[in-house]
Amino acid sequence: MFKNNLRTRTAIVFISIALISIVIVSITTNILIINSFGNYVTKSTDKEFSNIANTLAAVYKSEGGWKSTIL
């Protein structure tokens, strides 16, 4: 009885650690992808497209950035 209980506890702990790490990795990769895309857009030669991207970035920052989207 006690061994099974210990095994289930350790399994639950490992699964929760794995899920938390997956969430953290996905959030950081999303931040990196969006940051690199924003840099690419602002350096692009198409003025209208870069203006749209700058406007979206300004609105996004004024709305509270990552904290409002994640939480």
**pLDDT at 37 (0 to 100):** 67
Rounded to the nearest integer, the mean pLDDT of the chain is 71
Half-sphere exposure of 18 (CA within 13 A, CB side): 6
DSSP 44: S
Could you tell me the residue range of the domain that residue 51 belongs to? Answer: 2-70
Cβ(50)–Cβ(42) below 8 Å: yes
Q: How many independent structural domains does the chain possess?
A: 1
pLDDT tens for each residue of 3-61:
668 888 888 899 999 999 888 888 787 777 777 666 655 555 556 666 666 777 776 66
Q: pLDDT category, 71, cuts 50, 70, 90?
A: very low
